[in-house]
Structure 1
Amino acid sequence: MANFSKSNVPQFSVDVYQNEYLPEGGREVNGIVTVTSTGGGTSGGAPLLGASASPSQIPGRTPDAAVVVMVDCSGSMDYPPTKMRNARDATAAAIDTLRDGVAFAVVAGTHVATEVYPGNGRLATADRSTRAQAKEALRRLGAGGGTAIGTWLRLADRLLSSADVSIRHGILLTDGRNEHETPDALRATLEACAGRFTCDARGVGTDWEVEEVRGVATALLGSYDIVAEPDGLAADFTAMMEDAMGKEVADVALRLWTPVGVEIKFVKQVAPTVEDLTGRRTEAGPRAGDYPTGSWGDESRDYHVCVQVPTAALGQEMLAARVSLVLPDPAGGAPQVLSQGLVRAVWTDDMVASTRINPQVAHYTGQAELAQVIQQGLDARKTGDVDGATAKLGRAVQLAAASGNEETAKLLAKVVDVVDVATGTVRLKAKVTEADEMTLETRSTKTVRVKK
């Protein structure tokens, strides 16, 4: 493990957990890479909600952030009428959570995107006065029109790109399907916005598509979730904004360097959620590639790296991969290496050593399978494949229990009746609410950390 730090950048550390021993002829090497960022400060340690301290008085903080909140104002937000009211209140609560000095704007989203505050293609600077003005503007929000999420994101991108800041963040709320633009148009927007800002996405109620909301958040390296009841929006929006205010450094990349002859099988984030980063690699010099991780505050995440190495003689040892956290130089120079760790391979005839499964690797392999079988089970249930759904969701119950993922186990218990946890024997419930099914689908990728 190595540590590197720089003034006003949190300290990053990398720890690699693996069984480096391979049997004769063995080629697959797995490692869990734990990345921890500390010392940057989080929202919990800074005055919020219009506090009297200015950003310069808050240790370790600078007003180096911009946030755009995108609120669905399509016609369906009027059914029931409390939904629009809750959305206004939630956005007001998020605005209250902005710290002084942060640039911000509010966008109303229908089949077009409209600047609600401050308007004229500008961002406001958060202080007591602008927060009050923004909340006054929110009171005039009404519901009407269609849904074209790509237009909301493109306006957010234009607004955020006007700010000379390092942290650019969006918060997006929708209650319906993206019916007023094509999937290709939304995909093109996400490709255009990727790497320019991060975005948390929320679906309220049960009339939206999980895959659409997940697609937005995944492409823009943010979180996604369901808020089944509109009265839960304010707490959720406040928590999202507090998390955004805790980010201190953006555009961090996980750089993987491999020796000649080593093939990368996959790179996945496995905690706090499962996200496959393999296809998001950008080349970074000879035998090196960068995988995006987005913005960081005080937090820890786990990544699963799997590589295939050439065979070697017993007793031989090699570096299978070097994992680094890198921060681009805004001036275009060499990136700053924040921390790094090594993945090793050692060939041995000690069968006990070479067959031992590292507990971190085993845990997260199970968590990735858990997310997969939940999705497969729900897909089978939707198509009427009772046997397939029962088998997959039974396996999910088994994996959730084995890994201690209690939250997922509770969600599964709303969709199936558990007969035997150990064997994964379940029966599909005859009646399942749409909210319970969507909550399970939305949160299926959330993982629990391995008990070290």
Structure 2
Amino acid sequence: MGNDPESTEPRFSAEVYQNEYLPAGGSEVNAIVTVTCRGGTGGPRASARTRGGRGGPGAAVVIMVDCSGSMEYPPTKMRHARDATAAAIGTLRDGVAFAVVSGTHRASEVYPGGGRLAVADTVARAQAVQALSGLSAGGGTAIGTWLRLADRLLSSSEAAIRHGILLTDGRNEHEAPETLRAALEACAGRFTCDARGVGTDWEVGEVTGIAAALLGSADIVADPAGLAADFARMMETAMGKEVADVNLRLWTPAGAEVAFVKQVAPTVENLTDRRADAGARAGDYPTGSWGDESRDYHVCVRVPPAEVGREMLAARVSVVVPPPGGGTPETRAQGLVRAVWTGDLAASTSFNPQVAHYTGQAELAQAIQQGLEARKSGDRDAATAKLGRAVHLAHASGNEETAKLLAKVVDVVDVATGTVRLKRDVAEADEMTLETRSTKTVRVKK
């Protein structure tokens, strides 16, 4: 690719924000790592971007549309789903491989059929939109079958960027929970997937769980009329991805161990349990596909306690990307996390602004989730306390969108103290929106 004058290889950078000073005997080091990808062409490319370097499309996308019986109520819901899928198809760039899948208690190919993917051009997009007229509602919901069919279709492509878009309006009632979990485990690392719940009859934990497992986004579209705009935005974002299978690699010295690794912007996502060994004292944490964007990660490392005057490299954080033709992953950016033991009390007790901000954002997400769970179980005191704490954290951190969502569930008495009253009547869509978007964060003000 370096010989192609029209191509621009995306560039990664990694910036580390931390207070490296520890008191004598201190052992916990926290840092925020900002990873940024810039300078690509703004979309997937063919040739070297494909897996194995054999050429072909730079991206492949499968759209999974819920066609279960509940999609007929109201009757306009199925029409909006067809319109949304058509909008997504219209956003596909020429050369992108794609397919449309109908999901009920089984998965069926809508277009192009025959266990293959079509290649987007004017004719293929028109044929796909025409095929959508055959979509009708009927049957149950077994999302694991939809994902496995999407995986089979995507695996037929050599595209580096493999992506799914999944729409559901109901609970996964026609397969066991462990069946869906097994499907997610089988698909993890093979393609990314954005998941959307339309209406209010679906399970938030199922939709957010799908997105988390497959490193995609999750959201609610309470009004089916908003589906077309949302699907078009999702597809545009997917078309902007250029680099697949990016990992955050952490190396720690002997005696040190990683306590946790979390993505903290644009959403909170715990990556700790997804570690894969990457050599001596190193581990890789998957981050999915990247376009022109920036994300923040909170890294916490426990180091052996030491005396004043000692210093050490607590961790080396690298952004690693597999080369187009396979082989050893390439390091695209690197940052260092340090530990310095000092007797200066002011230095060792000060909070780095980035670390403090994202610690608060993670607590905000947890407080919302715990508060809503307490509300559902009838524990009004616990719900009031947790949601009150969430209100305080949202306002203190400048997370205005979350503050607005909270105000639809509680009456705010005093922001400073987090004093609130639970609203007596809350629209189900408002509660589900707050829960679904609870992990969305705001960047720290530099």
TM-score higher than 0.5 here?
Answer: yes
Measured in 1, the distance between the counterparts of 2:119 and 2:326 equals 28
8 Å Cα contact 1:42/1:243 also seen in 2: no
1:231 is matched with which residue: 225, 233, 239? Answer: 225
Partner letter of residue 90 of structure 2?
A: D
1:206 partner amino acid: T
Give yes or no for the alignment of 1:305 onto 2:286.
no
Partner residue, 2:29: 29
What secondary structure, in the 3-state scheme, does the structure 1 residue paired with 2:10 have? strand
Aligned-pair distance for 1:26?
0.8
Deviation of 1:327 (Å): 1.1
Report whether the alignment pairs 1:449 with 2:443. Answer: yes
Question: Does the CA contact (< 8 Å) of 1:9 and 1:248 recur in 2?
Answer: no
Aligned with residue 429 of structure 1, among 420, 423, 433: 423
**Post-superposition shift, 1:433?**
0.6
Equivalent-residue separation in structure 2 for 1:235 and 1:195 (angstroms):
28
325-334 or 224-233, larger mean C-alpha shift: 325-334
Contact 1:68 1:106 in 2 (8 A): yes
TM score, norm. by length of structure 2: 0.95
Tell me the residue number matched to 1:10: 10
Letter of the 2:17 counterpart: Y
Give the 5 Å matches for 1:29-428: 29-42=29-42, 63-329=57-323, 331-428=325-422
Post-superposition offset of 1:333: 2.5
Distance in 1 (CA, whole Å) between partners of 2:287 and 2:372 is 29
Does the CA-based 8 Å contact 1:30-1:307 persist in structure 2?
Answer: yes
Provide the rounded CA distance (Å) in 2 between the counterparts of 1:120 and 1:298: 35
- 8 Å Cα contact 2:265/2:295 also seen in 1: yes
8 Å contact 1:41–1:297 — kept in the other structure?
no
Equivalent residue for 1:3?
none
Q: Contact 1:309/1:320 (CA < 8 Å) preserved in 2?
A: yes
In the alignment, is the contact (CA less than 8 A) between 1:55 and 1:99 conserved in 2?
A: no
Which string of whole-angstrom CA distances, capped at 9 and with x for unpartnered residues, describes residues 37-75 of structure 1? 0012336xx9xxxxxxx989xxxxx94000000000000
Q: How much has 1:264 moved relative to structure 2? A: 1.0
The amino acid across from 2:72 in the alignment is D
Contact 1:202–1:227, Cα closer than 8 Å, also in 2: yes
Give yes or no for contact 1:107–1:156 (8 Å, CA) kept in 2. yes
Q: Partner letter of residue 26 of structure 2?
A: G
Q: Distance in 1 between matches of 2:371 and 2:9?
A: 43
The answer to whether the Cα contact below 8 Å between 1:55 and 1:100 also exists between their aligned partners in 2 is no
Letter in structure 2 aligned against 1:282: A
Distance 1:55 1:27 in 2: 47
Distance 1:39 1:63 in 2: 21
CA deviation vs aligned residue, 1:267-294 (integer Å, no higher than 9, x gap): 0000000000000000000000000000
Q: Secondary structure at the match of 1:9?
A: coil
Give me the whole-angstrom Cα distance separating, in 1, the residues matched to 2:59 and 2:217. Answer: 18
State the number of aligned residues: 434
Whole-Å separation in 1 of the counterparts to 2:115 and 2:9: 30
| Residue pair 2:8, 2:39 contacting (<8 A) in 1 also | no
The residue type paired with residue 40 of structure 2 is: G
Extract unaligned runs of 5+ from structure 2. Answer: 48-55
- The amino acid across from 1:393 in the alignment is L
User: Where does structure 1 lack aligned partners over 5 or more consecutive residues?
Assistant: 1-5, 47-53, 57-61
**Paired residue for 2:52?**
none
Whole-Å Cα distance in 2 between the matches of residues 55 and 279 of structure 1?
A: 33
Q: Which amino acid aligns with 1:11?
A: R
Mapped to 1, the partners of 2:412 and 2:307 lie a distance apart of 49
Contact 2:196/2:219, CA 8 A, preserved across alignment: yes
Determine the C-alpha separation between the residues in 2 that align with 1:281 and 1:116: 37
Secondary structure at 1:451 match in 2: coil
Residue 59 of structure 2 contacts residue 161 of structure 2 at CA under 8 Å; is this kept in 1?
Answer: yes
Identity of aligned residues (%): 79
Which residue identity is paired with 2:32? I
Which whole-Å deviations, capped at 9, do the CAs of 1:344-371 have from their partners, x for residues lacking one? 0001111111111000000000000000
**TM-superposed deviation, 1:329:** 3.7
CA-atom RMSD, angstroms? 1.6
Q: How far apart are the structure 2 equivalents of 1:145 and 1:107?
A: 15
- Please give the per-residue CA displacement for 1:361-416, whole angstroms capped at 9, x wherever unaligned: 00000000000000000000000000000000000000000000000000000000
